[in-house]
Amino acid sequence: MPPHPTAAASVPGGEPVAAAEEESPAARRLRRLSLHLLQPSAPSAAHASSPSSSLVPAACAGRRVVEGGGDVAAALTAYLRGRHRAAQMRLYDFFCARPDLQTPLEMTTAAHRELCFRQLRALVRDAGVRPLTLMANDPAEYFAVMEAAGGADISLGVKLGVQYSLWGGSVINLGTKKHRDKYFDGIDNLDYPGCFAMTELHHGSNVQALQTTATFDPVTDEFIINTPNDGAIKWWIGNAAVHGKFATVFARLILPLQGKGGEPADMGIHAFIVPIRDLETHAVLPGIEINDCGHKIGLNGVDNGALRFRSVSIPRDNLLNRFGDVSRDGKYTSSLPTINKRFAATLGELVGGRVGIAFCSVGVLKVAVTIAVRYALLRHQFGPPKQPEISVLDYQSHQHKLMPMLASSYAFHFATVQLVDKYSEMKKTNDEDLIADVHVLSSGLKAYITSYTAKSISICREACGGHGYAAVNRFGALRNDHDIFQTFEGDNTVLLQQVAGDLLKQYQEKFKGGTLSVTWNYLRDSMGTYLSQPNPVTARWEGEDHLRDPNFQLDAFRVNKLSPQYRTSRLLHSVAARLQKHSKTLGGFGAWNRCLNHLLTLAESHIESVILAQFIESVKSCPDEKTREVLKLVCDLYALDRIWKDIGTYRNVDYVAPNKAKAIHKLTDYLSYQVRLVAKELVDAFDLPDLIIRAPIGMQSEAYAQYTQYVGF
């Protein structure tokens, strides 16, 4: 079979391989290139003074790291390892010692659901984990446990999230002491499996338009829960189809005779605890109809169901009344003056779900990248004439696929660790600025990271060729189970609009003389310069020191695609002007829709800047010099690859001159090669046990042997 044209066209350093009739020159070129990259000579004084001198490789950071080998991997692991890594390892060991709890490759939906519930019950009752207690007392450890559970089976991680983040979280965050006293222990020890019944058949993202009603009956001192039409059937409710005994139902609170002219008063969306099955017999309770949403693309260990309520009576005390209450005589009271403020406060308390999804999505990305990188190092195909075949990862095209993705997994790791820390601090302090910051940051990171991970899993599958298509090598299950991360806990497009909306609010406050909240501090510095033109001198700078300068990278991330100013601040200024213009003829809603793609670009721009800023800060904070060098290399690749992917827009506004664009391209390829030299150490530093990887081609050793054994040899 002839060599694949792409494989034959590139070698480790990215230079073309000569045609077959030029075999000797090709071999010489390969050897020279290897010497050039692995043992570069110091540039001459004359060469060093040239504008592009710093693109001539100096002592290669990647080369220095490789010499560290396992020591570097260990140092990286130590820096990445969170303070709750021990709790994760205990769970990994627990599941490893329990083959009966390990998810097989093939099983029916019904069997997967029962296994998933047994896994959760064993985690709580046998392993002694108390997730709701952790969520209340130490959210960072709770998210670490969720990540570990999701590593064993993503369905388990999601089912744990439904039980504790959603059902349990709604009770402790939206209820008051009487609810915590009554339900906390039962939720924590799994005596009270529950659901989070928000989404309806006709409404998901637009929660304020939900149609389920909860009408107060002053005679019986009860709320009557009702599904007024088929569109109001609660849909996709996790735990509902099989295991749930309670549901937090989001419904419109209706007070009879208290509206204008004696009409019913709609007090907006509130949350109610509704028993749905008998605690002893598990029979569905009267007035409640439950149906199964059926087999899904993924996450079939989670039993999603649909709920209809026909005049179901619940005690008045079952209203989760932190932000609004109804007295015995039917009077409504709230510390918040409007429906919108109560609604915002209610949803704001549920932000932990988005934090968990962003955090766990990074875990899925790490698994996919680890499998793909290890296989690329293992797999050897083609090579110079009469010489051994080379690793697939030595091809520039493969480095281009996987090394920026590996860099992104590190960038996202540090960004989500910071998010979890902010969330934990928010729960301790209830600081209003921090609450607003976490709300928007979690929305943006959840949207950006889950979208990136979903695309990356497919790229990893393709990078592993035919073996990546085998179910045992995980990519199909990872893709299918993770795909919904882009939708639940907030559709990604909707969440990015929340980020854009908050930026516009901050922009307005800036020009009213208000202060900016904590994450948006850089806007304060850059808004004053959004009308400045790019410096024609710096637009041509192409030295490596300049291109790898964090200040240049951050500034470049903030350059607008449509104008020559700082990206986020100029996007913000221009979209505000467009909204003002179009609102005069289209109204507020029409103007927003007209500018929607602009707004989404604004949100993504901001989140990219936040991710890079945190990565740079994490590099600076690393105490070990060698580890810091490796992380700086990875961070530079992450930043420059993102710039190169958008290089046309930088060129269009003359922020980058042609020679500088070329230098960025060359340096990005060179950094990809350097990261390739430490790719094994970088994925090993994730410290993922075989139980989590599971794919034979992703094992650290004897991958082919495990693969052949799996198929029966």
Q: How is the chain split among helix, strand and coil, in percent rounded to 5?
A: 60, 10, 30
- Contact (Cβ atoms closer than 8 angstroms) between residue 82 and residue 119: no
Cβ count near 294 (within 10 Å) = 11
Cβ count near 313 (within 10 Å) = 14
Is 370 within any annotated ligand binding site? no
- Contact (Cβ atoms closer than 8 angstroms) between residue 628 and residue 619: yes
| CA atoms in the 13 A half-sphere facing the CB of 257 | 6
Please state the three-class secondary structure of 290-301 as a single string. EEECCCCCCCCC
DSSP secondary structure code for residue 566 in this structure = B
| Displacement of CA 510 from its chain's centroid (Å) | 30
Does the active-site annotation cover 432? no
Spatial distance between the Cα atoms of 387 and 413, rounded to a whole number of angstroms:
39
Spatial distance between the Cα atoms of 191 and 12, rounded to a whole number of angstroms:
58
- Contact (Cβ atoms closer than 8 angstroms) between residue 393 and residue 676: yes
User: Which of 255, 273, 315, 254 is CA-nearest to residue 175?
Assistant: 273
User: Which of 487, 428, 423 is CA-nearest to residue 454?
Assistant: 487
User: Which of 294, 310, 282, 261 is CA-nearest to residue 191?
Assistant: 282
Using alpha carbons only, give the angle 561, 567, 571 rounded to the nearest 5 degrees. 80
SS3 251: strand
- Contact (Cβ atoms closer than 8 angstroms) between residue 80 and residue 687: yes
Spatial distance between the Cα atoms of 713 and 708, rounded to a whole number of angstroms:
5
Using alpha carbons only, give the angle 12, 18, 22 rounded to the nearest 5 degrees. 135
Using alpha carbons only, give the angle 566, 604, 429 rounded to the nearest 5 degrees. 100
Which amino acid would we find at residue 414?
F
b (16+ CB within 10 A) / e for 100-119: ebebeeeeeeeebbbbbbeb
What are the distances in angstroms from CA 364 to CA 318, 357, 688?
37, 10, 11
Please state the length of the chain.
Answer: 713
Q: What pairing do the DSSP bridges indicate for beta strands 304-309 and 194-197?
A: unpaired
Q: Which distant-in-sequence residues (6+ apart) come within 8 Å of 102 by Cβ?
A: 95, 152, 691
- For residue 170, the surrounding DSSP H or E stretch is helix 169-174
Spatial distance between the Cα atoms of 329 and 319, rounded to a whole number of angstroms:
15
- Contact (Cβ atoms closer than 8 angstroms) between residue 602 and residue 500: yes
Is 199 within any annotated ligand binding site? yes
Selecting among 141, 147, 200, 489, the annotated active-site residue is 489
Active site residues per annotation: 489
Binding residues: 199, 238
Binding residues for FAD: 199, 238
